Amino acid sequence: MKAASSENVDLRAAGPPRRDWKRYTPTAIATGLAVVIAATLLQLPFDGLLAAVFDGAERLSVLRARDLPMAVVSYDDASGRRFGDPERIPVAALVATVEAIVREGPEAVLVLGPIDDRAYRPEELETLAAALTRHRNVYVGFTDDGALGRSVPGMASMAGRYLPAIVSKDTYSYGADSVTRRVFLAIEGFPTAYGAIACGGLESLSRWNRCLEENRAESRGASWQTFIDWRDVRASLARFPLVDVVDGAFPAQSFAGRYVLVGRSLSVPRDRDFVLTPLAKSRPTTSVLEAAAQGLGTLVLRQGVGTSPNYVIWFLTVVFAIVTTNVALKATPQRATLLAVLAFVLLVLLSSVSLLLFRRWVDVVHPAMAIVVGYYFVLPYRLFDEYQKRWHYQEKSEFMAELEELKSNFLSLISHDLKTPIARIQGAAERLIAEKAPPERVEKTLRSVVRTTEELTEYIEAILDLARVESGALPIHKASKDLNKTVEAVLDEKAPMAHEKGIAIDTDLEPLFAARYDEKLIRRVVANLVENAIKYSPPDTKIRIATREEGDVLRLAVTDEGRGIAPDEQERVFEKFYRSRTANTESVRGAGLGLYLVRYFVELHGGTVTLESNVGTGSTFTVSLPT
């Protein structure tokens, strides 16, 4: 009995049998999910976010700026007023400026601007080209891509020193916000003025390639570009108004050994002359000239910043996704959040180290998105899992409480129901020994001893049946029988018990075909129902027992005029050890096992037991057995 019930407990408490591989299922799910997340994220560019991160790093000046060996000579508003031309720099003024600079021995001079046949007449361009070609380190760069790939009359004689100097704007890539972040080294296979001055042009391919590598330049579309190492423009650039240079009103040695840019920065045609930079993204406050100086300065100092190779980004994204999803799945929410934050910090550190040591900025956006998405994707699974676990524990604790109740019920029943009859037998035997009673008293006492022993046997039998039922070791032997015969046999047996209480038993047994059932078990079913009807009915009432055959089913109904069973108890009375807690029941002996076994035995035959009852008027238990 004990072994049987503890086996029962283990089975229910442990839930369905666990297989070993199941332990790895969450890890596998999390890892699979992580790979899908990473693969999806890597398909998305997140250019805007990338730009924001880069701009942030620029503003924080992660890189230490060095002084630029640059000077800027600008055709500003004052110069425009002086020469009476707010659009174009007059050729004579331009030539005079370049001559003044060259006299000081600069490293290189770059004249920037709309210097083409749309701004100047052909003869003006010829004069300009002739004057400038005299110096081998003077270049002319056009900032408007309208001149790209076009032979501009007059400038042809400058050949390799009339080059594109277009200032790159992120119109489609990165922030798509027209901010100048990069500098062109080459466009469509031709070095730009910046590339030519800083890297010596394409004449020596090995030097050019080394310069690209040193500047971490990357090929995007048909161009080579590198991120400009922005610094505080105002602090590090030497600036001169063009008019002062023409007048010779500048300190000596202003241009010696420097890279000098000459060009227009009039405030009137603002849109054309000024650009947005990572340091000033909302208003164009930096002149094209200064942006060009920054770009050229970056290249001259070999300070170009590149991005990390794709495989690094893939690796980081996948690793961060896998780690985050697994952590989010297993760690406590606090720890998972802390680890996610740590992962962010680690990413930022990684990218700063890479920027400082290798001048490559790691794309932190994809791995960071992997952390966020990984974390939030796992949450629903996590909640579901927690819910399942809680549900399991709740079920287990409910079951334990039920078991506890059963145990205490059982113990009190055992102590009461086993001890009482034994005490009665003992009392009777002691009386017989002590008294010299007349033979009829002796017989009466012995009869009561026999009845008590029968009750005791029945009780023990019920418990043994329960043990067999629980351990699944209950054999069933079906044979063809007549249910009416079984009923009559039981009634013969129970007649004295009914008679004692003055209870009349009416029978209404319809002739039945033989059915196949286990006679011993069904006999216990009938006996239990009849016995209950007698036990729970007041004296001098009636019990009716009827059998019917309806199609494939035999029905046996036991109806009494007893106290009835309340609706909320009608299901519970079939539970193991359940006894109704009414005064009536307490005065009646029983283990609370009868109806449990009745239902069990009937269901073993594929049948059902139903109960209809009204408190005060009586109950009808109906057994349906398939033939």
The answer to whether the CB of 161 falls within 8 A of the CB of 133 is yes
Task: Give least dist CB 600 to ligand ADP, A.
Answer: 11
Give Cα 56 distance to the centre of its chain.
30
Task: Give least dist CB 530 to ligand ADP, A.
Answer: 9
Give Cα 242 distance to the centre of its chain.
62
DSSP assignment string, 310-340:
HHHHHHHHHHHHHHHHHHHHHS-HHHHHHHH
* Span 506-545, contacts to ligand ADP by CB under 6 A: 528, 532-533, 536
Among all residues, whose Cβ is closest to ligand ADP? 590
Q: DSSP code of 280?
A: B
Task: Give least dist CB 563 to ligand ADP, A.
Answer: 6
Task: Give least dist CB 516 to ligand ADP, A.
Answer: 26
How many positions of this chain bind ligand ADP (CB under 6 A)?
21
Residues in CB range of 606: below 8 A, 6 or more apart = 625, 626
Task: Give least dist CB 11 to ligand ADP, A.
Answer: 24
Cβ proximity to ligand ADP: between 363 and 417 the closer is 417
Cβ proximity to ligand ADP: between 197 and 466 the closer is 466
Select from 87, 73, 163 the least CA-distant residue to 118: 87
Task: Give least dist CB 589 to ligand ADP, A.
Answer: 7
The answer to whether the CB of 276 falls within 8 A of the CB of 179 is yes
Cβ proximity to ligand ADP: between 114 and 594 the closer is 594
- Does 494 bind ligand ADP (CB under 6 A)? Our answer is no
Q: How far apart are CA 263 and CA 254, in angstroms?
A: 17
Task: Give least dist CB 488 to ligand ADP, A.
Answer: 20
Task: Give least dist CB 459 to ligand ADP, A.
Answer: 9
Task: Give least dist CB 593 to ligand ADP, A.
Answer: 6
Cβ proximity to ligand ADP: between 142 and 536 the closer is 536
In the block, tokens 């910090």 appear at 345
Cβ proximity to ligand ADP: between 139 and 596 the closer is 596
Cβ proximity to ligand ADP: between 50 and 595 the closer is 595
Cβ proximity to ligand ADP: between 120 and 578 the closer is 578
Q: How far apart are CA 623 and CA 570, in angstroms?
A: 15
Q: DSSP code of 238?
A: E
Cβ proximity to ligand ADP: between 68 and 565 the closer is 565
Residues in CB range of 309: below 8 A, 6 or more apart = none
Please name every residue paired with 140 in a beta bridge, in sequence order, or none if there are none.
111, 162
From the list 619, 623, 624, 625, which residue makes contact with ligand ADP (rule: CB under 6 A)? 619
- Helix, coil or strand: residue 502: coil
* Span 50-69, contacts to ligand ADP by CB under 6 A: none
Task: Give least dist CB 494 to ligand ADP, A.
Answer: 13
Per-residue mark of binding to ligand ADP, 261-290 (x: CB under 6 A): ------------------------------
Q: How many CB atoms lie within 10 A of CB 344?
A: 16
* Span 545-604, contacts to ligand ADP by CB under 6 A: 560, 562-563, 565, 573, 578-580, 585, 590-596
Give Cα 12 distance to the centre of its chain.
31
Q: How far apart are CA 132 and CA 166, in angstroms?
A: 20
Structure-block tokens of residue 388 = 């399942």
Please name every residue paired with 448 in a beta bridge, in sequence order, or none if there are none.
none
Query: What kind and span of H or E run contains 558?
Result: strand 553-560
Where along the sequence are the contacts to ligand ADP (CB under 6 A)?
528, 532-533, 536, 560, 562-563, 565, 573, 578-580, 585, 590-596, 619
